[in-house]
A and B are shown apart, each in its own frame.
Chain A
């Protein structure tokens, strides 16, 4: 689809040097009375990227988004849109549009007028207006719905109207605050792919807020994992999953097994009972002292084919269909193992079975050791 041609870049935006990030936050802090919602946060978002802010409820994602949109002013720090600082600029003067979680469609206006709202404010009229609105409705697969009122549409359709209403203004950045939160699982999955494709087609920078790690990984090119108003780690979905740098990130993006030990070489860690396991040298990165070695459950094999091996007894088994999850008791605590059911036949291991677990040193990551409960 030749959508790029439809979305006109404003001349001002086109004149910027190509490397200018679309959004830049510099040491931004936001306080509400004594709550620090966003804490000294710095961030650059590359033009045309699909960026996700991921974190648990209350970590400051919405507040960050609202500061970019102009609905809140930072208590400290600066926000740039392109090379413009936007402190004190009201929302209606910012080249940014928002898809609200509640959609916030105007209930008294038709779908057509909802989508036309932004264009009318800019003085677009007549055939030009009609053409743009209809093209946009077409893009979100709602052509022919223009005369209806928002409440005559289903949740998924309303969601797409909200997208169209924002995108028709071809903003520099589109902000999406948990836009799929109100949809059921199946529709949510569909919309994830739809929005991702849409972003690819229109080439506008999307900033997507979510607390769902799967959603963030499915949709975004880059993800910032937030916790307590700060960014814990920023990277691609695979970076964050395979090489988390903090226990928070490791835990938020999925299950991980952590074995605590002492660094004993360039790429070795000695566990409590003297067993030495090999890890990735670049993950260890010259550390010394106590560290936690992390392995994702699906990276562990229920056999001795890989260099690092551990003995254990199966305690629990959960059949999930595509895979089976085992809880295996070892000398270092319980280890979770996920085995793909990719062979026909029965599930090979039962509770009580003795099992050798092994994994590739390349599949490990290193974290600071957790405070052991006394």
Chain B
């Protein structure tokens, strides 16, 4: 090494270190800002569920209280709205997942006339604006002369959930080795046993994911529900109605509760998958 090369080398090292410092810290700051942006609204919802508001609005911090949680159904109508939302979400997600799984199986497994068309049709509800979906369902129900309420909401929710279920389950089936089912049949399992012993267990994670996804989409749907609910009120409709005349902190309580449940389900899923991988 010559004597001139040494300072140069050092200079370059300093530059590289500076660059590394900036790169490292800019990334950190950027990430922190990003998460703040993402999480701040949720944090505010949670914090204000413990607020003790004066008057109708829950916008300024007045003092800490457990009352909102203790009297979570202290506003007329909120209890019925929550129950209706849970019922709809539960039934809709189960039916949509069952139907969606069947459709996904048919689409991946069997060549039939119109398979390509079906594949495209499945994506339509995913790409159609919800407002259009809601309005056209309204027109349909009006033409059929049905009574608006529980059933119209349920039918609407099943309809837009199916597509999500199909897409979720299909993704899993596409990567599924068809020879596994042939191997089962080769070893003496008929179609039904093959489905029970091989297809279903291997698709179960995707079916569970579809179920959770449908539940989550259904329970917070506003637009489509608004068009087709008649006089029934789901939780999102209730919140919207309440927000016009005030903002009761109980809304924050329910919002926080849903968030916690969703977070728990997600973490449980991650842990479960990890354990499966470790064990397998």
Contact = CB atoms under 8 A, between A and B. Distances in A.
Interface string A152-174: 10000000000001100100000
A152 B187 CA distance: 23
B193 interface: yes
B183 A121 contact: no
Nearest to B193: A121
Contacts of A105: 183
Interface stretch (B131-139, B151-159, B174-182): B174-182
Interface residues of B, number: 19
Interface stretch (A17-25, A90-98, A288-296): A90-98
Query: A105, A108, A169 — which one has the most chain B CB atoms within 10 A of its CB?
Result: A108
Given A107-B202, A108-B201, A98 B280 contact: no
A186 B280 CA distance: 28
Given A100-B179, A104-B180, A108-B202, A92 B280 contact: no
Contacts of A100: 179, 182-183
Query: B177, B183, B193, B202 — which one has the most chain A CB atoms within 10 A of its CB?
Result: B183
A346 B231 CA distance: 101
Contacts of A104: 177, 179-180, 182-183
B266 interface: no
A92 B190 contact: yes
B227 to A, nearest CB: 43
Contacts of B98: none
Nearest to A149: B280
Contacts of A69: 186
A106 B187 CA distance: 12
Nearest to A69: B186
Interface residues of A, number: 26
Contact of A118 (B187, B198, B202, B279): B187
Interface string A83-124: 000000011100011101010111110000000011001100
A107 B172 CA distance: 14
A70 B184 CA distance: 13
Contacts of A121: 187-189, 193
Given A106-B198, A107-B202, A149-B280, A122 B182 contact: no
Contacts of B187: 92, 97, 117-118, 121, 165-166, 169
B276 to A, nearest CB: 9
B185 interface: yes
Nearest to B188: A121
Query: A90, A96, A118, A169 — which one has the most chain B CB atoms within 10 A of its CB?
Result: A118
A102 B190 contact: no
Contact of B280 (A70, A90, A91, A107): A107
Query: B188, B189, B198, B279 — which one has the most chain A CB atoms within 10 A of its CB?
Result: B188
A71 interface: yes
B182 A71 contact: yes
A349 interface: no
A151 interface: yes
Contacts of A149: 279-280
B189 A92 contact: yes
Nearest to A97: B186
B186 A98 contact: yes
Nearest to B194: A92
A144 B182 CA distance: 27
Nearest to B180: A104
Q: Which 3 A-B pairs have the closest CB atoms?
A: A121-B188, A118-B187, A104-B179
23 contacts: A69-B186, A70-B185, A90-B185, A90-B190, A92-B185, A92-B188, A92-B189, A92-B190, A102-B177, A104-B180, A106-B180, A106-B183, A107-B180, A107-B280, A108-B201, A117-B187, A117-B197, A151-B280, A152-B280, A166-B186, A166-B187, A169-B187, A169-B188
Interface of A: 69-71, 90-92, 96-98, 100, 102, 104-108, 117-118, 121-122, 149, 151-152, 165-166, 169
Given A149-B279, A166-B186, 14 more contacts: A70-B185, A91-B186, A92-B185, A92-B187, A92-B189, A96-B186, A97-B187, A102-B177, A104-B182, A106-B184, A107-B202, A107-B280, A118-B187, A121-B193
